[in-house]
Structures are given as C-alpha cells and as structure tokens.
Structure 1
Amino acid sequence: MCSTLVSATDEGGIADLATLQARGFAAFRSACRKPRMHLSSCMFNTTPSNPANFKFVLEPVSMPFKMRFDVKASGDAAIVLAENKTLASTFAQISIGGWSNTKSAIRACNEPCDIQVEDDERGLLNETEYRPFWLEYNVGVVTVGKGSQSEGFLEWDAGSFHSKIHSQVYVGISTHERVSGSWVFYNHCE
C-alpha cells in the first residue's frame, strides 16, 4: 500500500481545505501512481492503428497464470490471447476502455466477431497516468480485474466456447484508432 504525507500549512499559513485536498491528491498520484518498475518488469509502447495491429510481446505463458500490468492510454487498449503468434489463432480478445473509454469487453476471436461479455464502466483508462490491471487464465477461463481488487470486472469461459483449453498462450497488445499506449507487464517478461 502506498501513502503520502502533506503538511496542513502553506508557507507559514494555514491552507484551505480545497488547496490541501488538491496537494494531497497530487502527492499521492506522484508517489503512488507510477508504474511499479522492478527487476521483473518490461515496458512496451503501442501506436494508433485501425484495424488493430497487435504486437506479440510475451511468449509463451503457461496456464494457469495471472499477469499484472499497467496501461497508460486515453482508451481503446486491447490484449489478445493466442495459440501461436498469429491473429488467426486468437481465442480471446480483451478490450479495456474500448468505445472511447466507455466500456470493456471480451470477444472469442480477433475482430470482427461477437462480444461474449462486456462491462459498461467509463473512464477505466487515463492518458496521463498508469492504471493497474490483472489478467488471469485458468482452465480456459479468462478473467480481467482492476488493481488490487480480487473480483474481476470481465470473466468468460474461452475453453468451453472453443472446446479447447490452451496450455501455452501468446500475448499481444494494441491500441486502436487515434490512441497511443504505454504498457508495463510484471513477472512474465522474456
């Protein structure tokens, strides 16, 4: 857990509550919202593309796994899980902050194909700060969650849908349309 301490006085005087609150949030964002860089992290950037141009960045990850990652983008961040390094082998496409940062979804293949599950939460992503997420793949079930929350906001049984559970998974990332993104992955770098 991260915390900061902000003084209640400002240059010898007492700060008003609004100023103190603004300084407190600024100190917290500065100290606590940076990407958690440590020895087992790797960073990637994505550029705008339409259609999505997925870059396979982690290979292969063995099931079961739970990967933690941070994303900095204004919206439309996407991850594919694939059997090999081809979009044709995609068995789950996860959109985080899609539709201009208004909802997230999981599809059964690389677009275009039907959405299997979605969540209508606005503002999941931010273009000026990293936001933490996690992705879990266990016995064919794909779960996506935020930060340190234990419950995911998206969950879908890809194994049942495709009648196949992949034991080795390739991970690709992309940002859509006019969006650039910065990604930090932890513990699953090559």
Structure 2
Amino acid sequence: MEQEMVTPGEVLGIASEVKPGKGAYQAPHNNTVYASLTGFPRIISPSPDSTDQRPTVEVTGHKAHGPVPEPGSVVIARVTKVMARSASADIMCVGPKSVREKFTGIIRQQDVRATEIDKVDMQLSFHPGDIVRAIVLSLGDARAYYLSTAKNELGVISAESTAGATMVPISWTEMQCPITGQIERRKVAKGKS
C-alpha cells in the first residue's frame, strides 16, 4: 500500500481508538486526533504491559515539502521546449497534488507513443505551453525525469492555438482551434470516458 502523506489539520483518528504521538495532537472539544505537521502517519502498537492499550499515531516529517515524482507516478507537466528528439517540460503535479519544487521532465522520441516509434515527429506531437499527462519512467540525468506519453490516456490534455484559444481534440493526433478552425497536430491524450 502506498503511504499517503498528511498535512497539518488532517484527521488521523479518534481519541478513543488512538492516542497522539509526535507530529499529532488531540483536539479537546471533539476528541479527534489531528496531524500537526506534513509527513507520513505511522501507527505504533502499545506495549503489552501498558495500561493504555490504544495504539499511538505519529507523523514523521517529510523533508521535501510536497510530492516528488517517482517511477510509475502520473504527472501533469507543461512543455517548455521541443527539440528534434525530445521535449522538455516542467512537472506541475504528481497525481492530484501540486509540486512545490522545480522538477524537469524529458519526453524522448521513443517514449511519445507506443506504435510507429521511428516515425514520431516531436514538432507534430508537442508545442511549448502544452499541458501533458505523462507517466514517470525513471530519474534521468541532470535532475530530469524521463516521462512517457505512450499510452492512450497520456499525452496533450490542454493546448493553446496560435489564436490564443484552448483547442479541442478531434482525434488521437489532431486538435482544432474553436475560433479559426485551424487544425494542429499533437499527441493527444484520450479522455477517460
């Protein structure tokens, strides 16, 4: 089970079932135990000879505040630069949570889509400013994460046309400007319907 991070004020349990340890406190008015810092909750079993048999819940601090991309996590990133064989992007969210530090992602040509990899044209897949949904493959070099959009639900989820409008996806590979009707090529993420 993946450990869920808690933030100050999140409920950890009720005082009749758990007692607060470090990083947690009990509110006197409603007998609820809350987290007092950002971190990961941990339940500590009571010692067998203890008169109080409630387990203790404590929160251990998390050094980097905010989520950190890990292999396998789905991220939302903004494309900053498109080169011949890769695109770079700033990771904005890991899962549903916004990041608080700067993480850079690289989408390599071979990781754009699952088919006809050798025919991928980066300029027809992404443009700077595009918002993409991608999955983290690994931590690459120079503190950049290798990202992949090679699944149907991954790819561009939001893009602006040259006219400045939010484009509408019309196929797997095309988005259309609602103002001018102009069609631009993208590696489009298929919405989960």
Q: TM-score scaled to structure 2, two decimals?
A: 0.24
Q: Which has the higher helix share?
A: 1
Larger Rg: 2
Higher relative contact order (CA 8 A, sep 6+): 1
